[in-house]
Amino acid sequence: MAHIELRDVDEDDVDAIFEMMRDPEAIAMAAFTASDPDDRAAFDAWFARVTSSPDVTYVVVTEDGGFAGTAATFTVGDDREVTYWIARHAWGRGVAGEALHQLVAHEPVRPLFARVAARNAASIAVLRKAGFTEVSRSTAYAPGVGEDVEEIVFTLVPNLDGA
């Protein structure tokens, strides 16, 4: 397996992140994305907000030193959530699973939550393999695909040893 690392975002990553988040196949799977992935000004405003928030940990995922995606932890209401977006060139090689493993290992808050479109079988498999369990399903409007989509919420709770 390739060497996977999480590192801080630098200015050289911003264009790669924008391009990754414009991939039509990835948008169809993720569904809950920007309504206009080609709007660079909206992306830049979102990116500035996310990366300046003290509540958000937003990192780049690398595979053998090259850009392979992003991962983040953030808070919604009282819930701490995780998310990841892996570039298509890195799909199917365990990059998402290893990135999630590393992200979770550095996040002390439990329970952790993750949300995924029910049509995203690959991400569901990654979450389950990482120990997340399904806690609810609902339907919500997904701007990335312009329609209502079933969303699954997963949680990772502390083990008996507190990990």
Q: Is 161 inside any structural domain? A: no
Domain containing residue 83: 4-156
Mean pLDDT taken over the chain: 95
Q: Is 96 inside any structural domain? A: yes
Q: What is the pLDDT of residue 157?
A: 87
Q: What is the pLDDT of residue 60?
A: 98
Q: Is 97 inside any structural domain? A: yes
Could you tell me if residue 128 is left (phi over 0), alpha (psi between -120 and 50 degrees) or otherwise beta? alpha
Q: Is 81 inside any structural domain? A: yes
Q: Is 118 inside any structural domain? A: yes
In the structure encoding, which two tokens stand for residue 139, read together? 């339907």
What total of structural domains would you count in the chain?
1
Alpha carbon distance 75, 134 (integer Å):
19
CATH number at residue 29: 3.40.630.30
Q: Is 124 inside any structural domain? A: yes
Q: Is 137 inside any structural domain? A: yes
**pLDDT at residue 1 is higher than 80:** no
Q: Averaged over 76-90, what is the pLDDT?
A: 97
Amino acid at 58: Y
For residue range 23-45, what is the model confidence (pLDDT) as tens digits?
Answer: 999 999 999 999 999 999 999 99
Distances (CA, A) of 151 to 17, 53, 60, 121: 24, 25, 25, 12
For residue range 58-67, what is the model confidence (pLDDT) as tens digits?
Answer: 999 999 999 9
- Dihedral over Cα of 149, 103, 99, 16: its sign: positive
For residue range 120-163, what is the model confidence (pLDDT) as tens digits?
Answer: 999 999 999 999 999 999 999 999 999 999 999 999 987 544 44
Alpha carbon distance 57, 75 (integer Å):
10
Q: What is the pLDDT of residue 159?
A: 56
What does DSSP assign to residue 51?
H
Q: Averaged over 114-120, what is the pLDDT?
A: 96
Q: Is 162 inside any structural domain? A: no
Q: Averaged over 16-27, what is the pLDDT?
A: 97
Structure pTM? 0.94
